[in-house]
């Protein structure tokens, strides 16, 4: 029988369904030893970050593969899919926290979106730490663990503060070339476009529809995307549709017809042609290859 992609919450990860957990902080080796099933592809309903201090192998985040190595930290947002394949012993730190964890801490809505690694965009999520940044981040993770052994007064407030310090420290370490891109004219418009696409990729398929909502011309939007991302506006929209198609296809409970309908395609035939054009595989072949990969892991 085909396997359905599991999607975990903080509660299911802890194994205590009725406990209103908002975060998990642990050494990675201990966390993985207790939850070896997490090596398989799965999704999260929470924010997730891991800092590797030892190990090798690879990980996949939303079907993109990244090598695992000491000094690497990665961030994931709710809804993303990932898996690990490790070579030898691996260790580091892991933090999971719920979407509501910072709600009472920040007055500004969607505050975490100001950090580039919480945008959910590929290479922005995986960062290699070096020099004094490596030492600072390691010390911050140790302080996070220390808040829980034993649990101290106002531990939750301190954990929020330390996490914010961690996010700022990692952002400051990002190489100047990436920070230079973040400060380019039009970058805010680009991020707003990406956010709109993430929220409207099903009903809105044309760059002109997004340009109208951003109060810019389609030509300006397209030029902006090519300048900052090396892709056209249309490609960004298609990439988001393709990502959601892949996420839905690895859910064995959904038929191809149901997926086609969810993504607002006219019919199965058009969805199949669209998917094959950009992946080289039919939706059925993609699903079969995924299932074979699960069985051989």
The pTM assigned to this predicted structure is 0.84
pLDDT score at 185: 79
pLDDT score at 2: 46
Mean pLDDT for the chain?
89
Tell me the fold of 7-180. Answer: Jelly Rolls (2.60.120)
pLDDT score at 295: 54
Which segments of the chain belong to CATH 2.60.120.280?
7-180
SS3 state at 94: strand
274 pLDDT exceeds 60?
Answer: yes
User: What percent of the chain lies above the pLDDT cut of 70?
Assistant: 91
9 pLDDT exceeds 70?
Answer: yes
Handedness of CA 272, 276, 278, 279 (dihedral sign): positive
CA dist., res. 123 & res. 51, Å (int): 16
248 pLDDT exceeds 70?
Answer: yes
CA dist., res. 117 & res. 138, Å (int): 18
Tell me: the pLDDT tens digits for 171-190? Answer: 988 866 666 666 677 888 99
Residues 165, 166, 168, 171, Cα dihedral to 10°: 170
Tell me: the pLDDT tens digits for 78-126? Answer: 989 999 999 999 999 999 999 889 987 887 777 888 888 998 877 789 9
- Do 245 and 259 contact (CB within 8 A), yes or no? yes
26 pLDDT exceeds 60?
Answer: yes
147 pLDDT exceeds 60?
Answer: yes
CA dist., res. 70 & res. 129, Å (int): 9
Instruction: Kindly give, in sequence order, each residue whose CB lies less than 8 Å from that of residue 11, ignoring residues fewer than 6 positions away.
Output: 17, 18, 19, 20, 21
With left for phi above 0 and alpha for psi between -120 and 50, is residue 66 left, alpha or beta?
A: beta
Which segments of the chain belong to CATH 1.10.10.60?
187-296
Tell me the fold of 187-296. Answer: Arc Repressor Mutant, subunit A (1.10.10)
1 pLDDT exceeds 70?
Answer: no
Peptide bond preceding 180 in cis form (omega within 30 of 0): no
Token pair 């956010």: residue = 195
């Amino acid at each position: 029988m085909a396997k359905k992609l599991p999607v975990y919450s903080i509660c299911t990860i802890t194994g205590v369904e009725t406990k209103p957990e908002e975060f998990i902080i642990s050494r990675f080796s201990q966390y993985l030893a207790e939850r070896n099933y997490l090596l398989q592809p799965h999704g999260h309903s929470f924010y997730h970050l891991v800092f590797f201090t030892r190990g090798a192998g690879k990980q996949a985040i939303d079907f993109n593969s990244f090598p695992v190595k000491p000094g690497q930290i990665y961030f994931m947002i709710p809804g993303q899919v990932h898996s690990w394949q490790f070579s030898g012993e691996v260790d580091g730190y892991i933090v999971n926290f719920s979407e509501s964890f910072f709600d009472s801490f920040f007055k500004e809505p969607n505050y975490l979106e100001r950090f580039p690694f919480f945008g959910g965009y590929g290479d922005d999520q995986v960062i290699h730490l070096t020099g004094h940044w490596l030492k600072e981040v390691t010390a911050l993770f140790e302080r996070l663990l220390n808040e829980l052994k034993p649990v101290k007064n106002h531990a939750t407030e301190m954990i929020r503060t330390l996490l914010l310090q961690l996010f700022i420290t990692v952002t400051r370490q990002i190489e100047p070339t990436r920070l230079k891109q973040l400060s380019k004219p039009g970058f805010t418009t680009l991020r707003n476009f990406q956010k709109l696409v993430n929220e409207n990729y099903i009903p809105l398929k044309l760059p002109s529809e997004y340009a109208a909502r951003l109060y810019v011309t389609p030509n300006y939007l397209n030029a902006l995307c090519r300048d900052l991302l090396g892709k056209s506006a249309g490609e960004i929209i298609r990439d988001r549709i393709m990502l959601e198609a892949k996420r839905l296809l690895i859910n064995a409970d959904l038929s191809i017809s149901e997926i086609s309908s969810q993504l607002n395609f006219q019919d199965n035939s058009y969805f199949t042609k669209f998917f094959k054009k950009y992946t080289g595989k039919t939706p059925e072949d993609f699903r079969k290859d995924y299932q074979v990969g699960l069985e051989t892991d």
